[in-house]
Amino acid sequence: MKARIVKTALALLAAIVRSSRPGRSLGATTLAATLALALGLCAAGAALLGHSARGQGPSKEDAEPPAIAERTAKTPEEATRLARELDKRVEVTSEGDERTTVYADPDGTRSARLYSRPVRTREDGAWRSVDPTLEAETDALAPKASVGDLTFSDGGSGPLVDLADNGKSMSLGLDDPLPRPEVSGSEARYRNAFGGADLELEALPDGFSERVVLEDRPSESPVYRFKLATSGGLRADVASGERLRLRDSDGKVFALAAPARMWGSEKDSKTGEPKRSAPLDIEVRDSAEGQVLEIRPDRGFLSDPDVKLPITIDPTVRLGTNQDTFAYSASPNDNTYQGSGDHLRVGWHGSAFGKTRSFVRFTTDSIAPAKHVLSGWMHLYQHDAYSELVPIAVELRRRSWVNYLTRGKRRPPAPVSGKR
């Protein structure tokens, strides 16, 4: 059963999604993670018109998945004139970014759709929907459309993965040549890349996921080493929670990994989460040839017969820090980025995780400051629940917050009074 949940708030910057029945052991609820926030905007001093001012709710097209608009204009003035002529909203291509689309409405107002993750990228001066499907290029694999320039090795020597954006780049490599990968959609699998362990790469809209897959239990404690090269003044280190982080000379985060974890293949039939999982120890050290990323899985976990094979070891690297996150009550000092997942988790997730809250962040950088926000709608789609369907509460957090510092004990600023 699917249930659509719509909440209204002004000047929405960030939200926390939780069960609205605290104290109950609720079944895990899964929500669609790509959330559309529709805002009605008007220029400062303009009449408060538009669909939101007339008291109407979001239109059907506000709730639909992102798509590149059929009608576009470069400037707000051109878009407004065309919208009035066509009696249909028109995208303003000079405004917006990978997470935001701005439209001119027929009544003279403007609307914006904000997403919590990138939904498009600019190529050759035009917007294109993101598509992480891999395709062959000269001596490499690359997604059809992604934020930043991402390439994977097609085998042999050279970098395993390259990620570049705005004049900065990072790459990971191995000492030995790579086998030719098996490619399926957005994933590339390199068989026996680590002497008995497979290596999987997955292209994401704004980064990549890197997984070591063990089909057999190692006889010794393994250490997986990746050569790490950077440009543009980037340096790598390990942030709180065993996260690989790359920052420039000013301390700005270029790319950040989810907390490094490993898990067995057996999953909980109700939550869909792995029954057995554990954190990973990672280290970035300097060598004569540059920096090296080392991943050290615990041998006790790998040799535990209750941990079912294959075992997956996964750090996920994404550009910037604007990532959705979960906080588990059973791990109050930790959090888990969505990584390559497409869901938000809310409610009870078993004794290993406890109660779950999801934090979703929207940026408003691409909306000019000289605007009045008339109203807003946030669309959440409830995808499944293994027990009863329950109300979901959404709280507005107006001030900015950093996802990788959000934990069960360290939450974003308090919600705006009355805005739930």
**Mean pLDDT across 159-185:** 95
pLDDT, position 18:
59
pLDDT, position 169:
96
pLDDT, position 52:
33
Say if residue 54's pLDDT is above 80: no
Average pLDDT, the chain: 77
pLDDT, position 251:
92
Most confident of 118-122, 262-266, 358-362, 368-372: 262-266
**Mean pLDDT across 217-241:** 92
**Mean pLDDT across 114-131:** 87
**Mean pLDDT across 92-113:** 88
Most confident of 218-222, 272-276, 383-387: 218-222
Q: Spell out the alpha helix ranges (H) of 124-180.
A: none
- The residue written with tokens 């906080």 in the block is 327
pLDDT, position 127:
87
Residue 223 CB coordination number (10 Å):
12
CA distance 191 to 194: 8
**CA diameter of the chain:** 72
CA distance 111 to 103: 5
CA distance 8 to 97: 23
Distance, C-alpha 23 to centroid of its chain: 29
Lowest mean pLDDT among 20-34, 99-113, 309-323, 348-362: 20-34
pLDDT, position 359:
78
| DSSP three-state, residue 392 | strand
What percentage of the chain reaches a pLDDT higher than 90?
A: 40
Q: pLDDT band for position 346 (50/70/90)?
A: confident
DSSP state for residue 74 in the 8-state scheme: S
37: buried, middle or exposed (CB in 10 Å: 19+, 13-18, 0-12)? buried
CA distance 299 to 26: 34
Q: pLDDT band for position 160 (50/70/90)?
A: very high
What percentage of the chain reaches a pLDDT higher than 70?
A: 68
pLDDT, position 336:
55
Say if residue 116's pLDDT is above 60: yes
pLDDT higher for 392 or 134? 134
Say if residue 3's pLDDT is above 80: no
Check: CB of residue 99 under 8 Å from CB of residue 363: yes
pLDDT, position 268:
79
Q: pLDDT band for position 364 (50/70/90)?
A: confident
pTM of the shown model: 0.77
Q: pLDDT band for position 37 (50/70/90)?
A: low
Q: pLDDT band for position 170 (50/70/90)?
A: very high
CA distance 351 to 380: 26
Q: How far lies 330's CA from each of 149, 244, 384, 407, in Å?
A: 38, 23, 22, 11
CA distance 27 to 16: 18
pLDDT higher for 358 or 415? 358
